[in-house]
Structure 1
Amino acid sequence: MTPWNGNGYTQAPAEPFVTVLHFDYPRPPIAANDRTHWAHKARLTKQVRIKTAELAKRIPELGRIRVSLVWVVKDKRRRDGGENITPTLKPMIDGLVDAGIVEDDTQEQVTRDMPLIEYRPGAVAHMELRIEEIR
């Protein structure tokens, strides 16, 4: 039902906010199968978190969100599934909190979809973080 706005007519509810942040990472900066030194991983984690916060600063504060990470690849080489790139998703979500989009990254405020690897012929390899408001 469309809500009454008090002016003699009804107003359709606004659509939920949806945006996609684009990262120029040709491969996930942090992956579950990486065997790097903890200090190197910590630096990468900080960089991803800061980059996400910078890209997200134009996004308004949202109460609850759904996030989806997609690694766009340009070839059909065999790769591990999306669970291998979930370590990149965590600092991205932390960056959204840093940008003030949500108050915290609890499951009540942030719903996470399993990351995907998507083949797009002719595309430049990159990563996309889709942010959708949940009402």
Structure 2
Amino acid sequence: MLVTLTIPKADEWLNSNDRRHHMARWRIGRTWREAAKVYAIKAKLPHLQKARITATIHRARSNRSDALNFAPTIKPIIDGLIDYGLLPDDDDKHLLVDVRGGVAGTPRVELVIEDLL
């Protein structure tokens, strides 16, 4: 089973090169985490035991980017899905994650969730 969840850009992007104060990063991460949980509830996502999530980052501009630099944005989104109850935990036993860059346009994160059991 495949399920797609789209989360509109909830706050600023977090990336591995970010040098903001840790409390600013925490605030932004909290916003992404809460948004992920809200969108998961609205979508009535299933509760799974093991899954692969492919996260695609769509930014407004089409300039070069390194998709893995956006892992700090994806982590709080995954945490929000765990808060919702999508999976028992986000450890390696329950979750595989791929991060990809998308096309320019409306800023958003698209998650393709694949049940692995």
TM-score normalized by structure 2?
A: 0.87
Correspondence for 2:102 among 81, 102, 118: 118
1:64 aligns with 2:50: yes
Aligned to 1:85: 70
Which consecutive segments of 4 or more residues in structure 1 shift more than 6 A? Answer: none
**Which consecutive unaligned segments of at least 5 residues does structure 2 have?**
none
Aligned to 1:76: 62
Aligned to 2:110: 128
CA RMSD of aligned residues (A): 1.9
Q: How far apart, in 2, do the equivalents of 1:47 and 1:125 lie? A: 15
The structure whose Rg is larger is 1
Q: Secondary structure at the match of 1:95?
A: helix
**After alignment, is 26-35 or 84-93 more displaced?**
26-35
**Which consecutive unaligned segments of at least 5 residues does structure 1 have?**
1-15
TM-score normalized by structure 1?
A: 0.76
More helix by share: 2
User: Superposition pairs for residues 1-135 of structure 1, below 5 Å?
Assistant: 16=1, 18-25=2-9, 29-57=13-41, 58-73=44-59, 75-79=61-65, 81-113=66-98, 115-119=99-103, 123-135=105-117
